[in-house]
Chains A and B, each alone.
Chain A
C-alpha cells in the first residue's frame, strides 16, 4: 500500500504535474529520500543543505506538523499521508 505524498498545486511543476506520489513507508527521512529520487528539485526545496527542514516549509504526516513530532525521524506508516506545504506568514 505504501505512503501517499500529496503535492499541492503550487509545487506540482516540480513533479511533472502530479498531485500525489506513492512511496514506501518508513521514517520521514526515508520517505523524503524516495521523493528525492523522483524529484531532486522538490527535495532540495524541502531540505536545507545540511539536511534539516527548511524554515519556510511545513511537512505534515496526516494532520500533524512534524515539527511537533520527531521531525525527520517521525514514523510514516502504511496508508499514511504526507503533505508538503510552504508557509505564508508576515507581520508588522
Chain B
C-alpha cells in the first residue's frame, strides 16, 4: 500500500530555470480549478529547457464514463495522448527527451499522491527516467512546488525542494 510522499527537506534542492517555472505556474493558474499537466524537455547539458502544455482530459473521460473515471479535472489529470506523443516526437527531433512530467494540485498540497505514484510506477510508463513536478495552487495562486525523483537504486521517489535558477 503506497502512501503519499511529501517533500524531504534533507534532500538537495533541484534547480529549475525561472522561465520554466513561470511558464508552469502560469499554466496552473490559468486552468484552475482544474489541474494542469504537461512535460518539460531537455538534454544532458540543460535538463529542463522547454515546457510543453498538454490538455487535461480527465473531465472529458469523467463525463463519458463516471464509473471508470470517478474524478473530474479538479481532482486529477489525464494527459491527452496525442499531445504527449507529439511532444515526445518533437523533443526527439530536437535531440532532446522528456525529462519531467508536471501537474498541479488545486486547494491541496504539493505531494506525490498514491494515484501519481501508481501511474508513474507502471511498467509501461512512457518516461521512466523523468522527474515529476507537482505545484500546489490555492486561491488562484501557486503556493508550493516539489520535484519527485526516483531514488538511485530504490523503487521509490524522494520529494526534493525546488529552487529558481538561470538554467
Interface residues of A (CB under 8 A from B): 8-11, 45, 54, 56-58, 60, 67-68, 85-92
Contacts and interface: CB of A to CB of B under 8 A. Distances in A.
A91 B126 contact: no
Contacts of A10: 88, 126-127
Contact of B113 (A56, A57, A67, A92): A92
Nearest to A91: B76
Contacts, number: 79
B88 A9 contact: yes
Given A68-B64, A85-B85, A87-B79, 18 more contacts: A8-B126, A9-B89, A45-B124, A54-B124, A60-B81, A86-B124, A87-B78, A87-B81, A87-B119, A88-B37, A89-B58, A90-B76, A90-B103, A90-B113, A91-B58, A92-B106, A92-B108, A92-B115
Nearest to B122: A56
B144 interface: no
B68 A56 contact: no
A91 B115 CA distance: 6
Nearest to B88: A9
A68 B84 contact: no
B122 A86 contact: yes
Contacts of B76: 89-92
Contacts of B88: 8-10
Q: What's the dominant secondary structure at chain A's contact region?
A: mixed
Interface residues of B, number: 35
Contacts of B127: 10
Interface in B78-125: 78-79, 81, 84-85, 88-89, 92, 101, 103, 105-106, 108, 113, 115-116, 118-120, 122-125
A8 B89 CA distance: 9
Contacts of B105: 91-92
Given A9-B92, A68-B65, A88 B85 contact: no
Given A10-B88, A67-B68, A92-B113, A86 B125 contact: yes
